[in-house]
Structure 1
Amino acid sequence: MEILVCIKQVPGTSKVEVDEKTGVLKRDGVDSKMNPYDLYALETALRLKEKLGSNVSVISMGPPQAKEVIKEAYMMGVDRGALISDRKFAGADVLATAYTISQGIRKMGNFDLILCGKQTTDGDTAQVGPEIAEYLKIPHIANVIKIEEASEKAITVEMDMPDTIELDKVTYPCLLTVDKDIFQPRLPSYRQKLETKDREIQTICLNDFEDKDENQYGLNGSATQVEKIFPPSVNNDRETWTGSSDEVSNKIIGKLKQLKYV
């Protein structure tokens, strides 16, 4: 059984500058980490590997430094990894991103099960996983919170719907997006780090795709564009009040009324 996990490198801080012209995050020089939701997808894949004897691969999309999250995945027990990287992919919205990743997956090979984190912490759209499945023309289930049963031919899962918890069975090939706490992610292994330090990471660029039309990727291939994006304003104003409990209480009430909170 072949399992693929889609992972992403995201900023490790909320203090990220925004390019006012393109509306995208300036990632250069910013501390980064693996998207937390992808850790749950990785752990799910590795547990299935232990149960079914599967091979686990990862794929990521980003600049060359995104190889670091693939190396981290190797330290957790992943067998193979690939990075989709090309300047022509920069500025992609969720639709163009999903199409790019689907092309990268086709380049990597055929997979029975594709796992994604529910969403990323830098975008929070929760759209890319299902859109990848649509481009690959395979069934998908989102918001998976539990693997009920897994075999060589199908997988049964619980999904968290707005009003109910639903149980569904889907045959391979398919794609699942998993929610947090489905499993507790394992820590990277130092032994695995030593064993995989020279393991190859495949790099995939536009010329490797079946579809080499540049208009399908990056800003050119994006169906949506952000009109305006800006960092939130920070208000560090503060007041210190002293007095009896009655005096301070009256000051708090007066302040709340002044701000029209009450």
Structure 2
Amino acid sequence: MSSLKVLVPIKRVIDYTVKIRVLPGGKGVDTNVKHAMNPFDEIAIEAAVQLKEAKKASEVIAVSVGGAKSVETLRTALAMGADKAVHVETDADVQPLEVAKLLRAVADKEQPQVVILGKQAIDDDSAQTGQMLAGLLGWSQATFASKIEVEGDSLKVTREIDGGLETVRAKVPAVLTTDLRLNTPRFATLPNIMKAKKKPLAKLTPKDLGVDITPRLEILEVAEPPKRSGGRKVESVDDLIDKLKNEAKVI
């Protein structure tokens, strides 16, 4: 099989080191804080760049859906080794199905053989976009990948599952989603950050792609998880079972 063109969707999210603060009224969270590339998407970029370095991929294209500041995230992807970027600019809060439709339209334009994206974004934890995209494209899919190997006209993918590891073969074209153990993303070096400024970055809008991004879901309330109460000692197993059953109500 000739070298693959790889499309890597990435998302700008609140940095994982930031403590999230719920806004008064419970309609959302404070977003006026430090942002960064979604950690699982960093792993996806690294996976694509490694395929290119191994001569298994010919081109890596990063794409992001979001506001003007998403360009910063795309430049980071370019500094990590992506060849070009596509910014689908919108200030709307785009939900997974609409993101998948936008990515399908970008895939139709760019004609990649493989799409690699993080298994989930750490802001909404939906873990839906990759699967929806594969369904819309009608492509093979392999989710939660911890190892990717190119073998002929297919990909051999080791998946993280509840019971351990599962190895599957996915025919190209395919959509893959990345898990934590796939790799350790590289840092963008200063020289590569400077080079990234000269790499091509195309701008599109949902209208350009013919996709309606009207939300289908409404957030009714956002709330912090309940604060954890202190532990306590019990005198016997029977006492423990009684408290688990009658107080904690978990059995």
Q: TM-score, normalised by structure 2?
A: 0.81
Note closer, same or farther for the CA distance 1:177–1:18 as it changes in structure 2 (3 Å cut).
farther
How big is each residue's C-alpha offset from its partner over 1:58-83, in whole Å with a ceiling of 9 and x where there is no partner? 11111010111111111111101011
Residue of structure 1 in register with 2:163 after alignment: 163
Residue of structure 2 in register with 1:126 after alignment: 127
Residue of structure 2 in register with 1:57 after alignment: 61
Amino acid at match of 2:222: I
Matched-pair contact (CA < 8 Å) for 2:11–2:70:
yes
Q: 1:11 pairs with 10, 14, 20, which one?
A: 14
The alpha-carbon deviation at position 33 of structure 1 amounts to 0.4
Matched-pair contact (CA < 8 Å) for 1:61–1:84:
yes
Higher strand share: 2
Matched-pair contact (CA < 8 Å) for 1:18–1:230:
no
Residue of structure 2 in register with 1:104 after alignment: 106
Q: 1:38 pairs with 38, 41, 44, which one?
A: 41
The alpha-carbon deviation at position 161 of structure 1 amounts to 2.0
Matched-pair contact (CA < 8 Å) for 1:129–1:177:
yes
* Matched position secondary structure for 2:123: coil
Note closer, same or farther for the CA distance 1:166–1:66 as it changes in structure 2 (3 Å cut).
same
Structure whose alpha-carbon radius of gyration is higher:
1
The alpha-carbon deviation at position 233 of structure 1 amounts to 6.6
In structure 1, C-alpha distance between the alignment counterparts of 2:122 and 2:180, rounded to whole Å: 12
Q: 1:217 pairs with 201, 205, 213, which one?
A: 213
- Using the aligned pairs only, state the percent identity: 23
The alpha-carbon deviation at position 6 of structure 1 amounts to 1.0
Matched-pair contact (CA < 8 Å) for 1:84–1:101:
no
In structure 1, C-alpha distance between the alignment counterparts of 2:124 and 2:57, rounded to whole Å: 34
Matched-pair contact (CA < 8 Å) for 2:62–2:78:
no
Give 5+ residue unaligned stretches, structure 2.
235-242
Matched-pair contact (CA < 8 Å) for 2:43–2:118:
yes
Amino acid at match of 2:214: G
* Matched position secondary structure for 2:77: helix
Matched-pair contact (CA < 8 Å) for 2:142–2:175:
yes
Residue of structure 2 in register with 1:113 after alignment: 114
Residue of structure 2 in register with 1:146 after alignment: 147
In structure 1, C-alpha distance between the alignment counterparts of 2:34 and 2:151, rounded to whole Å: 39
* Matched position secondary structure for 2:52: helix
The alpha-carbon deviation at position 104 of structure 1 amounts to 3.1
Matched-pair contact (CA < 8 Å) for 1:59–1:105:
no
In structure 1, C-alpha distance between the alignment counterparts of 2:106 and 2:24, rounded to whole Å: 27
* Matched position secondary structure for 1:73: helix
RMSD of aligned alpha carbons: 2.8
Give 5+ residue unaligned stretches, structure 1.
239-251
In structure 1, C-alpha distance between the alignment counterparts of 2:108 and 2:227, rounded to whole Å: 44
In structure 1, C-alpha distance between the alignment counterparts of 2:48 and 2:75, rounded to whole Å: 16
Count of residue pairs the alignment pairs up:
233
